[in-house]
A and B are shown apart, each in its own frame.
Chain A
Amino acid sequence: MDRRLVLAAALGLAAAAALPARAQEVAKIGLILPMTGPFASTGKQIEAAVKLFQARNGDTAGGRKVQVILKDDGGTADVTKRLAQELIVNDKVVAIAGFGLTPLALAAAPLATQAKVPAIVMAAATSTVTEASPFVVRTSFTLAQVTVPMAEWAARDGIRKVVTLVSDYGPGIDAEKAFTEVFTKAGGTVENLRVPLRNPDFSPFLQRAADAKPDAVFVFTPSGVGAQFMKQFVERGLDKGGIRLISTGDVVDDDILNDMGDAALGVVSTHHYSAAHDSAENKAFVEAFRKAAGFRPNFMAVGGWDGMQALYAGLDATKGQGGQALVDAIKGTTWTSPRGLLTIDGATRDVVQSVYVRKVERKDGELWNVEFGSSPAVKDPVKAAKAP
């Protein structure tokens, strides 16, 4: 009888001692990315950036060892949801992160709400993503955020008439709306064309754009398709007809810019990150990234890098706690990223950042998006318009 009591007491003590110790061991982060399929380049960029971040900043934050678990969703929303559930329930992660496309982020958002697990969106760019759950934090950009400066720049630069040409899906429509609204308010005229997402040939749309005789064509397409578009733009002689090509930075993605050839030269775009950004942080980042991964970082990589930055900053502040505390700790944080100064908006949990105007130029035998103007501290205009 006595012995049993002693034994039970000893066991209880041991358990009590072990509990906090186990909690301090590892903070797991579930990273869900499309590593295969048509969006694999997004996954590869972000994975490389996350690895580089841990290599340079160590693998402890808030006194806990940070372990990243990488899962491949192949760009399919139901797989993202299943993986998020597994990571939350089985692996007990403190946060989930990644999400290459808007539908993937939207699929995981309800789980983040239910389980009170922060979801760090490193890529998906539709405005509504952060409204899907109070646990979503975004470190990439929103399409409207990078489009509005383009419309403002075009109006300032003497462009009066624009044909917009966007891929017919969520982000494309976001871009079309944002551009049209700002540009017509500035006194310009806009004609809208939407191209089916699975479109084999741009020629009829380009011909229509050419016949409208605008000062510029504004284009948004997913990044791989943009290269094809640009070649046909030049082939059709629109550039020689005095029509300028303006776009968001997705079209002149750093990842494939060099493969586009001279057709891309002179394209003006607005985006939150260019690998040619002139700062000490960025030079170090690009050099280390190229050495480690073997290719140039693009805006996806920087989204992944800053996602880790946000998580580390949050974990440091909460001493390794997850859940609501972690989201609250990340809200309102500011840091200097390779892309420049970055703030997580305390109210919307969305990213506030500078948006740069860039032009494609050849430097040292490679094509780069060289920045020549910027709008500081741009908020997502869609949510800013909704705010009271």
Chain B
Amino acid sequence: MLTILFDGIAYGMLLFVLACGLSVTLGLMNFVNLAHGAFAMAGGYATALLMNRAGLPFLLTLPFAFGLPALAGLVLERILYRPLYGRPHLDQVLFSIGLVFMAVSGTDWALGSGQQFIRLPAWLQGRAEVLGVPVGLYRSFIIVVCGVLVVALQLVLSRTRFGSRLRASVDDPRVARGLGIDVGRIFALTFAVGSGLAGLGGALGAEILGLDPTFPLKIMIYVLIVVTVGGTSSIAGPFLAALLLGVADVAGKYYVPSLGAFVIYAVMIAILVLRPQGLFARAR
């Protein structure tokens, strides 16, 4: 029972790291970026390739898994995404889904269609007993890393100058610009960080979710569910939504395996019927 809860939380944490970048671009910048999963895949491949070809240890690859997609995000934001900010949502959806397909075929062509494998260091394999509950070491590691990230993100958004500028730019870009805030630069940075977080999520998730060129399509639905259910106005919303969905998914598959795959959708529908604007969003 507690093991199920633990697995669910670890899975939820992973979903959150994958999804929080999207909740930022979608909620704060009002841009529908379905290609978010492609950045996650980039992070996963960065880790897998650096480990398998360059022989770097797992932990050392994680900064690259964050940095490379962030850099890619920064460049793409500048040359591809920016012209689309003012366009209708349908254009953004079509554009970004196109990017996903390009990323999928591009990866397939360059690196093959097979699964990429990551060999974890020995100290992250196996499991340990904590208070009588057997827990997986790697899953504990995910929980710790993601927990730290959540706290850090929340602090940055609510306590720092950058955070308040970002919130100001989102609330009313025109006034923010009038006050001398460089809205474009703030959005670019936010986009890059969001992409980087997705990359980190991809790297951490490769071991649990598997990693192949169709990764962006595989996780897209889960990520979108998290963002929809969580609402897009804060970090806390998607975070709690991710935890809830993670636990519901794992518990559903454990207790009713025959219906397991549908539990997550049932939870989503129930929540959206009760709170169409998401769990924690202010009513508009």
Residues of chain A having any CB pair with chain B under 8 Å? 36-41, 193-194, 196, 198-201, 203-205, 207-208, 224-225, 227-228, 231-232, 234-237, 256, 259-261
Kindly count the residue-residue contacts between A and B in the assembled complex, taking CB atoms under 8 Å apart.
91
Of the residues A199, A227, A235, A256, contact of B126 by C-beta under 8 Å: A235
B140 to chain A, nearest CB (A): 12
Smallest CB gap from A37: residue in B: B113
Q: Across the interface, which residues of A come within 8 angstroms of B136, CB to CB?
A: 235-236
Cα–Cα, bound, A124→B11 (Å): 34
Q: A224 and B7: CB pair below 8 A? A: no
Closest 6 CB pairs of A and B: A204-B253, A196-B261, A204-B254, A40-B113, A224-B115, A200-B209
Of the residues B126, B138, B208, contact of A237 by C-beta under 8 Å: B126
Of the residues B127, B212, B261, contact of A38 by C-beta under 8 Å: B212
Q: B4 and A227: CB pair below 8 A? A: no
Cα–Cα, bound, A237→B261 (Å): 24
Instruction: Give per-residue flags for B207-218: 1 if the beta carbon is below 8 A from chain A beta carbons, else 0.
Output: 111101110001
Q: B113 and A231: CB pair below 8 A? A: no
Smallest CB gap from A241: residue in B: B134
Q: A203 and B7: CB pair below 8 A? A: yes
Q: B115 and A207: CB pair below 8 A? A: no
Cα–Cα, bound, A376→B7 (Å): 44
A175 to chain B, nearest CB (A): 17
Q: Across the interface, which residues of B come within 8 angstroms of A224, CB to CB?
A: 114-115, 210, 212
Name 15 extra pairs, CB < 8 A, besides A40-B108, A200-B219, A204-B4: A36-B108, A40-B112, A41-B114, A201-B250, A203-B11, A204-B7, A204-B250, A204-B252, A205-B257, A205-B260, A207-B7, A224-B114, A224-B115, A235-B138, A236-B127
Q: How many residues of B contact A (CB 8 A)?
A: 38
Cα–Cα, bound, A193→B261 (Å): 13
Q: Across the interface, which residues of A come within 8 angstroms of B113, CB to CB?
A: 36-41
Q: Across the interface, which residues of A come within 8 angstroms of B31, CB to CB?
A: none
Q: A256 and B261: CB pair below 8 A? A: no
B147 to chain A, nearest CB (A): 19
Within 8 Å of chain A (Cβ to Cβ): is B251? yes
Residues of chain B having any CB pair with chain A under 8 Å? 3-4, 7, 11, 105, 108, 112-115, 117, 119, 125-127, 134, 136, 138, 207-210, 212-214, 218-219, 222, 249-254, 257-258, 260-261
Q: Interface of chain A, helix or strand or loop or mixed?
A: helix
Q: B7 and A200: CB pair below 8 A? A: no
Smallest CB gap from A237: residue in B: B127
Smallest CB gap from A198: residue in B: B218
Q: Across the interface, which residues of B come within 8 angstroms of A234, CB to CB?
A: 125
User: A256 with B115: in contact, given A37-B108, A224-B210, A235-B127 (CB under 8 Å)?
Assistant: yes
Cα–Cα, bound, A329→B186 (Å): 73
Q: Across the interface, which residues of B come within 8 angstroms of A199, CB to CB?
A: 261
Q: Across the interface, which residues of B come within 8 angstroms of A256, CB to CB?
A: 114-115, 117
Cα–Cα, bound, A232→B136 (Å): 10
Cα–Cα, bound, A208→B219 (Å): 24
Complex A-B: 9 CB contacts under 8 Å: A39-B113, A40-B108, A40-B113, A201-B250, A203-B208, A205-B253, A228-B115, A260-B117, A261-B117
Q: A207 and B254: CB pair below 8 A? A: yes
A242 to chain B, nearest CB (A): 15
User: A259 with B7: in contact, given A237-B126, A237-B127 (CB under 8 Å)?
Assistant: no
Cα–Cα, bound, A185→B258 (Å): 24
Of the residues A41, A196, A200, A237, contact of B222 by C-beta under 8 Å: A200
